[in-house]
Chains A and B, each alone.
Chain A
């Protein structure tokens, strides 16, 4: 299944425009996205981004708000006024509620606050590209681990597993992002639904991961839940 998706992406490469003036960040984003088989163009000023959007077609724009000469929000507002439909993800260091509301009002589809975790950026991009397509998944699967979202049963190698509500939600989230790294911030926000980033949740997340691992991995030879040190967790086959 992984492989099929990869082929599909290669056949019609998804084009992403990154508008970011910080060279290091832009380079990291380009390399990271290219590793995920996206076709990436980088603009380092608002003007350049504006020009590229007009002359080429993109499936997604990642827009930094603090740009030299031409402010990101201004670029976005102008683009939306001219009828641009492409989803736009804004990157910003301003994280007050007002800033976020302002950004979304100007026509952004999503926002990410700097410093962000790269896996999270990937997840947001995937979500934005998926948008509009019906998401009627009733079953999730990774190797011999299967989750039924209707009966809320989890089975590995034919063996039924007892999970707490939180463990179930966490596994569901990991399965939905199977093959990709999930950061602690993503888990805190999407599984625990804690928006205040100052909340001490990391220990809770680590303990829950450890317990989940005890249930889904410890009795089995193949390990599925992996810790990516310093980044987060990933659910994937050991070889991947």
Chain B
């Protein structure tokens, strides 16, 4: 069993009171010692004066020591000369319950001892001690009470935040914590918390969209398989007819397989389960090889596919993953550029010293409203047309993952009707890749 940890409020109060008690105790002890020392010094001074007077009388023998004793009243003293007591006040040595303080003045011939009653002094000290002893617990009590109250006041936003946070679930992610003082610690905490909530809300929304899209994408081939099969069963077909039907079903199976394959790659990649193996890669060489790879597609559409590699540009990345990304970007460009269009692939170093691979086309262009979501899985600018062209709807999402897994970013500059420019920007320096976001 775990011992219940006391609340922050209680801990804060206890610490506060403890420190205060320690300080007060040290302070009280100091006062007591200081006052005691001062009082005793004053008493000793008086005794010293007495001794001086007695000695004066004794030396000059101008007066009677007895009279001196009488005149000095409360003072008690004893004068000893060469072993014999010359004079001593009655009741010497002082004894009994009344405390006395003694002082002695001595030389070779004589010794004078004087005593003074210190009852008043002790009483003063005692009174002071009592006052302090009663005051300290009161002060500590007050400190505990005040501290507890203040800590409660200060911590009340935390309670409110916890209460709000408790009410936030996946279904009510739109709620936000109130931020009263944005500058103080709690305000900052609430702001950070709210930012996290915003990101979470966006992630959840994306996930919901993705789930809906994925089920739609998966259902489309499934529906085709099912209906083609069911319709074929109701009719009597010749052998070539059945062949046709089965072939058609297999085509859809192929589509499903490709979709699942791409989704798996993407999911594994985004959850960081595909670790990039970094090496220095000649981007120019990689771009040339990808262009040659897909050139037949451009040729088939009579597009001009130009490659513009200025100088050798290298970056530290995983060549296989980056290649996958670039193939997807270029495939996308070829797909959405009409026949006889132009596609240019360029590799260069940017003014800020980064490596950039650009894929520019004279295609349909992408209107600015789609820019934010074009890299999302299954996001399509034009639903019908895109599926017609045989894409999985995962190409650009795969491309973005591939680039980001290599610590880079992918940018889009495009205007509807004026073509698009996709830019893969990679750091030329050896930087830690960011796997998953």
Q: Are B297 and A203 in contact (CB under 8 A)?
A: yes
The docked-state distance in angstroms from the alpha carbon of A199 to that of B398 is 9
Segment among B69-77, B200-208, B245-253 that sits at the interface with chain A: B245-253
Using A200-B328, A202-B258 as known contacts, say yes or no to A229 and B250 having CB atoms under 8 A apart. Answer: yes
B166 contacts A by Cβ under 8 Å? no
CB of A52 to closest CB in B, whole Å: 31
Partner of B296, one of A208, A228, A231: A208
The docked-state distance in angstroms from the alpha carbon of A197 to that of B289 is 18
Q: Are B297 and A204 in contact (CB under 8 A)?
A: yes
The docked-state distance in angstroms from the alpha carbon of A196 to that of B264 is 11
* B246, closest chain A residue (CB): A230
Most chain A CB within a 10 A radius of its CB, from B264, B268, B300: B300
* B243, closest chain A residue (CB): A229
B268 contact set on A, CB distance < 8 A? 96
B357 contacts A by Cβ under 8 Å? no
Q: Are A196 and B244 in contact (CB under 8 A)?
A: no
The docked-state distance in angstroms from the alpha carbon of A174 to that of B254 is 20
The docked-state distance in angstroms from the alpha carbon of A96 to that of B265 is 10
Q: Are A196 and B320 in contact (CB under 8 A)?
A: yes
A240 contacts B by Cβ under 8 Å? no
The docked-state distance in angstroms from the alpha carbon of A192 to that of B328 is 16
The docked-state distance in angstroms from the alpha carbon of A200 to that of B296 is 13
Partner of A207, one of B273, B296, B324, B391: B296
Partner of B248, one of A184, A207, A228, A230: A230
Q: For chain A residues 185-233, which have a beta carbon within 8 Å of chain B?
A: 192, 195-200, 202-204, 207-208, 210-211, 228-231
Q: For chain B residues 223-271, which have a beta carbon within 8 Å of chain A?
A: 243-244, 246-251, 253-254, 257-258, 261-262, 264-266, 268
CB of B318 to closest CB in A, whole Å: 11
Partner of B261, one of A192, A197, A208, A228: A197
Q: Are A204 and B296 in contact (CB under 8 A)?
A: yes
The docked-state distance in angstroms from the alpha carbon of A228 to that of B251 is 10
Partner of B247, one of A202, A207, A228: A228
| Apart from the given pairs A210-B300, A230-B254, 4 other A-B contacts in the complex at a CB distance below 8 Å | A202-B390, A207-B296, A229-B243, A231-B250
Q: Show the binding face of A for B, using Cβ within 8 Å.
A: 95-96, 115, 166, 184, 192, 195-200, 202-204, 207-208, 210-211, 228-231
Q: Show the binding face of B for A, using Cβ within 8 Å.
A: 243-244, 246-251, 253-254, 257-258, 261-262, 264-266, 268, 273, 293-294, 296-297, 300, 320, 324, 327-328, 331, 390-392, 394-395, 398
